[in-house]
Amino acid sequence: MEQLPFIYSKTIAWRLGRHLTFWLLWFFFQLLLYSFSPSPVLQRQPFGHRLLITLPETLIYLIPSLFLAYSLMYLVIPRQVIPGQYVLATLCAVVLILLTAVLSASLSMTIIDYFRHQLADKVSPVVASEPHPAFSIQFGVAMLAGLRGSITVGGVAAAIHLLKCFQEKQQAAIQLEKEKAKAELQMLKAQLHPHFLFNTLNTIYSLTQDVSEKASGMILGLSHLLRYILYECNQPLVPLQKELTMISDYLQLEKARYDQGLDMVVQLPKTTHHLVAPLLLLPFIENAFKHGASRMIENPWISLSVTLQDDRLAMKLINGKPARHAPSLPGIGIANVRKRLALSYPNQHELAIHEEEEMYIVNLTLSLTHAYLESVNSVYNGVAD
């Protein structure tokens, strides 16, 4: 895609270039087409004169074509077609076509008709004085005539735009798969065998039970955390309750590290039957400790609130910021989460990260899937297969 900037680049210069090229080509095509009109007035003129005569008419007829094309490209396709609302998209397209027909007929019966009468008076007064059909018939014919060109160019422009949207989405999915495969390869290179890891943790846990209850509790929490990450996060969706339990275990481990020096307020929903993409909330909480609590010399604090209303999850995370700190570059963890949100929850999430004078604030809302609905869909898909 980077090798074809004229087609895929989103910079202003390239976008203006390809749009102007498209409409110039269409304009010259229509200009030639109108110059061969069967009108007796035009047929008496040389070809060069015919081009000059039909030039204003061609320019005016571009208005309904532009209206239909850009309405389809930037209203119907991104808001109805891409999200899969095909019935609504069809209705909107029909309404836009009717509006285009009315606009085209109005221009034809007013401005264009005026120019035609002026031309007829100069070239052939006999033709200009010929009787005209009824207004309703003229308006209907004008609607059909105007739609002939507008639907063609609007359909071509919309098809090109739709093809680009699907190709960009496919390229983004391929890129994400490559990044995921690369991350998994790096993880495989670095990780110990899970059985060895958990057996070792169990041994240390049994040895520390009689020595330090706090140390054994931390080892048990770490074991639960690692088990969840290694064994249960390989699915696209996991129970939200398990995700919240993992977050609670992680917060307890962090709190134990700080002993009594960390002021932490946590509010999590008690029970839930929803599903969520795994490890989606954890990077924000890790950042709260990395860039906040761990750098504060006095009184580090974190406030986490996760609420659930119907199928809407809302997370509000606030943490203190050190008085003196060097500007930090955006982490790769948050960038990856943004990509995952865009792919897993398109048009179903809102993320806002604010840096205030004394604190960082993260607000995230998600539209979740209910576990019951997911199980019904799985059964339906299994029967369909």
Domain ranges of the chain: 5-175, 257-384
Q: What is the pLDDT of residues 308-348, one digit of tens each?
A: 988 899 999 998 887 665 555 455 678 888 888 888 888 89
**Number of residues assigned to the chain:** 385
pLDDT at 371: 62
Counting residues of the chain whose pLDDT is more than 70, the rounded percentage is 72
CB 326 within 8 A of CB 350: no
d(CA 385, CA 239): 25
Per-residue confidence band for 376, with pLDDT thresholds at 50, 70 and 90? very low
At the topology level of CATH, where does 257-384 sit? Heat Shock Protein 90 (3.30.565)
More confident residue, 188 or 202: 202
pLDDT at 101: 83
Residue 338 in tokens: 């943004």
3 state SS for the chain: CCCCHHHHCCCHHHHHHHHHHHHHHHHHHHHHHHHCCCCHHHHCCCHHHHHHHHHHHHHHHHHHHHHHHHHHHHHHHHHHHCCCCHHHHHHHHHHHHHHHHHHHHHHHHHHHHHHHHHHHHHHCHHHHCCCCCCHHHHHHHHHHHHHHHHHHHHHHHHHHHHHHHHHHHHHHHHHHHHHHHHHHHHHHHHCCCHHHHHHHHHHHHHHHCCCCHHHHHHHHHHHHHHHHHHHCCCCCCEEHHHHHHHHHHHHHHHHHHHCCCCEEEEECCCCCCEEECCCCCHHHHHHHHHCCHHHCCCCCEEEEEEEEECCEEEEEEEEECCCCCCCCCCCHHHHHHHHHHHHHCCCCEEEEEEECCCEEEEEEEEECEEHHHHHHHHHHHHHHC
- Other beta carbons less than 10 A from residue 219's beta carbon: 22
Residue 87 in tokens: 């019935």
Q: What is the pLDDT of residues 286-310, one digit of tens each?
A: 888 877 776 666 778 889 999 998 8
Average pLDDT over residues 11-27: 87
d(CA 316, CA 66): 44
* pTM of the predicted structure, to 2 decimals: 0.50
d(CA 221, CA 356): 33
Q: What is the pLDDT of residues 213-234, one digit of tens each?
A: 777 778 888 888 888 887 788 7
More confident residue, 100 or 324: 100
d(CA 317, CA 363): 7
Query: Is residue 275 left, alpha or beta, with left meaning phi > 0 and alpha meaning psi from -120 to 50?
Result: beta
Is residue 129 pLDDT above 50, yes or no?
Answer: no
Q: What is the pLDDT of residues 140-152, one digit of tens each?
A: 666 766 666 777 8
d(CA 136, CA 240): 63
CB 103 within 8 A of CB 143: no
Is residue 128 pLDDT above 80, yes or no?
Answer: no
